[in-house]
Structure 1
Amino acid sequence: MRLFIAFTVPQNVITCVNQAQEQVKQVLRADRWQPTKNLHITLHFLGEIDEGLLPEIIRDMEMVCSIIKPFTLSLGRFGVFPEKGNPRVLWIGLKGNQEVMQQLHLLLGKRLERHQEIMIDKRSYHPHITLARGPETKEQASLPLADWSHRFLPEYHPSWKVEEIILFRSELLPTGAVHTPLHTSKLGDTTNL
Structure 2
Amino acid sequence: MRLFVALYPPPDVVRHIGAYVDGLRIGRATADGVNVRLANADNLHVTLAFLGDVDEGRLPDVRAALDRAAPGWREPSRRRGARRPDRSDRWRHPPEPVPESDLAVGPVPAGGVAAVAGGPVARLRLAGGGRFGRGRFTVLWAGLDGDVDALYLVSGAVRSELRRSRLPYDRRLLRPHLTLARPGEWLPRAAVDADLADLAGYVGPWWPLAEMVLVASHLGPRPTYDRLGSWPL
How would you bin the TM-score normalised by the shorter chain?
Answer: 0.7 to 0.9
Letter in 2 for 1:167: L
Q: How do 1:43-192 residues align onto structure 2 when only pairs under 5 Å count? A: 43-68=48-73, 70-82=121-133, 85-86=134-135, 88-116=138-166, 118=168, 120-136=169-185, 138-141=187-190, 143-144=193-194, 147-149=197-199, 153=202, 157-174=204-221, 176-187=222-233
Alignment of 1:21-36 (within 5 A): 21-24=21-24, 25=26, 26=28, 31-36=36-41
Amino acid at match of 1:7: L
Q: How many residues align?
A: 180
- Aligned partners of 1:27 and 1:137 also within 8 Å: no
Cα distance, 1:124 vs structure 2 = 2.4
Q: Specify the code of the residue in structure 2 equivalent to 1:158.
A: P
Give the conservation status (yes or no) of the 8 Å contact 1:30–1:136: no
Q: Distance in 1 between matches of 2:140 and 2:164?
A: 32
- Distance in 2 (CA, whole Å) between partners of 1:47 and 1:7 is 17
Residues in 1 aligned to 2:196 and 2:223: alpha-carbon distance in whole angstroms: 30
Letter in 2 for 1:126: R
Does the 8 A contact of 1:78 with 1:145 survive in 2? no
Can you list the C-alpha shifts for 1:156-178, whole angstroms capped at 9, x where unaligned? x201011111111112355x222
Whole-angstrom CA distance in 2 between matches of 1:139 and 1:180: 34
Distance 1:20 1:98, change over 3 A: same
User: Cα–Cα, structure 1 residues 146 and 130, in superposed 2: closer, same or farther, change >3 Å?
Assistant: closer
Note the residue ranges of structure 2 that are not aligned, 5 or more in a row. Answer: 75-120
Tell me, in whole angstroms, the C-alpha distance in 2 between the residues paired with 1:139 and 1:53: 45
Q: Structure 2: which amino acid aligns with 1:73?
A: L
Gaps of 5+ in 1: 188-193
- Asked whether 1:13 is paired with 2:18, we answer no
Deviation at 1:116, TM superposition (A): 4.6
Q: Which amino acid aligns with 2:46?
A: I
Structure 1 distance, partners of 2:216, 2:196, is 34
Q: What one-letter code is carried by the residue in structure 1 that aligns with 2:138? A: R
Which structure shows the bigger proportion of residues in strand conformation?
A: 1
Structure of larger gyration radius: 2
**Contact 1:76–1:93 (CA<8 Å) still a contact in 2?**
yes
Q: Deviations over 1:39-84 (max 9, x none)?
A: 11111121121111111111111111113354210011111114xx
Contact kept in structure 2, 1:79 and 1:145, CA below 8 Å: no
Distance 1:178 1:139, change over 3 A: closer
Q: Deviations over 1:73-128 (max 9, x none)?
A: 0011111114xx5452110010011111111112211221345551x223221111
182 and 31 in structure 1: CA distance in 2 versus 1, 3 angstrom threshold: same
Please give the TM-score of this superposition, normalised by the length of structure 2.
0.68
